[in-house]
Amino acid sequence: MGLEEDVKQTKFTNEHQKVMVNILYTSSWLNNRNAAYFKKFNISPEQFNVLRILRGSHPIPMRLADIAERMIEKNSNCTRLVEKLRQKELVDRQLCESNRRQVDISITAKGLNVLSDIDKDYDQWLSIQKAITKAEAVELNRILDKLRS
């Protein structure tokens, strides 16, 4: 289905306006799709992002500010996300021994297991990738990077 049908709008001011609406609409569509997918693992897409970041630094713990800096969704409340993950026993928070004002955050074995379960289902989760070729993906990445620069 095309954008015009999805948003029930047939005219746009120009192609640049249409592409901006298309990016925003597609972003929302992907966010909703991800939220539904991660629900079966009892986490949100933002919580998945925190776990993914912590797995990348594992076994070295990270500071909250460093996690927040790497987040995809910059408006996420990283403190709240980490606390919810701690309550689910997916991350651990410890006072830093060398700096008592700093809290070190690390992924737990349970958190690694959740990511492992997600990894097993990775192809289903990203089945959308089959809609475009590798060359199209490269070009889309180039265009999106150019848009942000």
Say whether both 82 and 137 belong to one domain. yes
Supply the pLDDT for residue 24: 94
Expressed as residue numbers, the domain containing 21 is: 1-39
* pLDDT for 121: 80
**Residues 65 and 130 placed together within one structural domain of the fold:** yes
Query: Is residue 57 domain-shared with residue 70, that is, in the same domain?
Result: yes
Claim to verify: residue 143 and residue 90 sit in the same structural domain:
yes
3-class secondary-structure state, position 105: strand
Check whether residue 62 and residue 128 sit in a common domain.
Answer: yes
Report the candidate in 17, 53, 69, 48 with the shortest Cα–Cα distance to residue 117: 48
| 34 and 73 together in one domain | no
Q: What is the CATH number of the domain that holds 46?
A: 1.10.10.10
Written as tens digits, the pLDDT of the chain (149 aa) is 688 888 888 899 999 999 999 999 999 998 998 899 999 999 999 999 999 999 999 999 999 999 999 999 887 899 999 999 999 999 999 887 777 778 899 999 999 999 999 988 877 777 777 788 889 989 999 999 999 99
What's the pLDDT at 1?
Answer: 66
Check whether residue 79 and residue 24 sit in a common domain.
Answer: no
pLDDT at 74: 81
68 shares its domain with 128: yes
Q: Helical H runs in 40-121? A: 45-57, 64-70, 78-87, 109-120
End-to-end CA distance of the chain: 30
Sign of CA dihedral 53, 56, 61, 62: negative
> How many domains are contained in the chain?
2
Same domain, 49 and 12: no
Mark whether 46 and 107 lie in a shared domain. yes
- Whether 17 and 60 share a structural domain: no
Domain identity same for 64 and 18: no
